[in-house]
Amino acid sequence: MAQTGSAEQGAPAWRQWLAIGAGLLVSWSWVLLVVYLAPDILGGEATPGIYAAFTLTLYVPLLVFALLAGWIGGTKVLQMGWSPLGWTSAGLVVGAGGLSGALAMSWLSGTVVAGSGATGLTALVLMGFGLTVVQSAMEEVLFRGWLLPVLSQRLGQIAGICGSAILFAGFHLVGGARQPLTLLFITLAGVLFGLLALRSGGILAPVTAHAAWNGSEDTLFGLVPNPGNEMLGSIFDFDLIGNSLWGGNDEGLNASVGVVVVMIAAILPLLVGQRANPLATPSATPA
């Protein structure tokens, strides 16, 4: 079976370190540049079309950067792994179920209130979900399809998972995440997605988990931003008001105790039992 981003046999260490340095430098520079230019690009009267173009401009190049870095370092990036249907289903359950569980904790704390921005299922909402899938997939290709396996080969699997997770959190720090609970949650999410990649031998499980979490948060429940929802609308609209530990703050559910609890609960089962073969060994057969 093919493995996630397995390194091609014979790739010298210097090429892999060059790929790591170049890949991170180019991808982070691109994000910083686009974020810096965002006010000029979006302007004061952003439309759904401009928002969509901006999102695609920001995230789609990450796929190109990951593939180029993989080529430099001899790493196969787009690996589907074992039992694609089963692991895709597992990713959907982890992502949508985890987000719903964290929201339920906030609701039990009395922090969740109904907002007024729900639009139901519209064409714009479907477009928003599509953009969320693109964003989640591009991030996973970069961090779990390419960076995780190449770090795992050079430093070991534990360092690979932790290193890619920390850099994943740093990527979101550039995007505006600031609160300690948010950064802790994103780091734990990176660990979870890395373990899903390790267990499944591919990127489908982390991509679907990531997309299901973000899609539930944005498109289904309208939790981003807090309060309110994005310009493309959402099927429902819930705001988090009150206790900041349960999401009653500017960063919403991402800066809540609930998401940290959910991440830990999802990570623990993946730490026990039979493990997949190492991510960074040569692939036995192509995907």
Looking at residue 138, what is its pLDDT? 97
d(CA 211, CA 172): 16
Asked whether residue 281 is domain-assigned, the answer is no
Looking at residue 44, what is its pLDDT? 64
Asked whether residue 107 is domain-assigned, the answer is yes
- Taking only the tens of pLDDT, the chain with its 287 residues reads 344 454 444 578 889 999 999 999 999 999 988 888 877 766 667 789 888 988 999 999 999 999 999 999 999 999 989 999 999 999 999 999 999 999 999 999 999 999 999 999 999 999 999 999 999 999 999 999 999 999 999 999 999 999 999 999 988 887 666 789 999 999 999 999 999 999 999 999 999 999 999 999 999 999 999 998 888 999 999 999 999 999 999 999 999 999 999 999 999 999 986 555 445 443 333 33
Asked whether residue 239 is domain-assigned, the answer is yes
3-state SS, one letter per residue, for 30-68: HHHHHHHHHHHHHCCCCCHHHHHHHHHHHHHHHHHHHHH
Asked whether residue 155 is domain-assigned, the answer is yes
Asked whether residue 108 is domain-assigned, the answer is yes
How does DSSP classify residue 97? Answer: H
Angle 160-162-166 from CA coordinates, rounded to 5° = 115
Looking at residue 2, what is its pLDDT? 40
d(CA 138, CA 253): 23
**Domain residue limits at 118:** 13-270
Asked whether residue 5 is domain-assigned, the answer is no
pTM as predicted:
0.90
Looking at residue 275, what is its pLDDT? 53
Helix (H) or strand (E) holding 173: helix 157-174
Asked whether residue 6 is domain-assigned, the answer is no
Asked whether residue 277 is domain-assigned, the answer is no
Looking at residue 11, what is its pLDDT? 75
Looking at residue 272, what is its pLDDT? 84
* Residue 216: count of CB within 10 angstroms of its CB: 22
Name the token pair of 56: 């695609």
Query: How many domains is the chain built from?
Result: 1
Looking at residue 47, what is its pLDDT? 87
d(CA 271, CA 84): 21
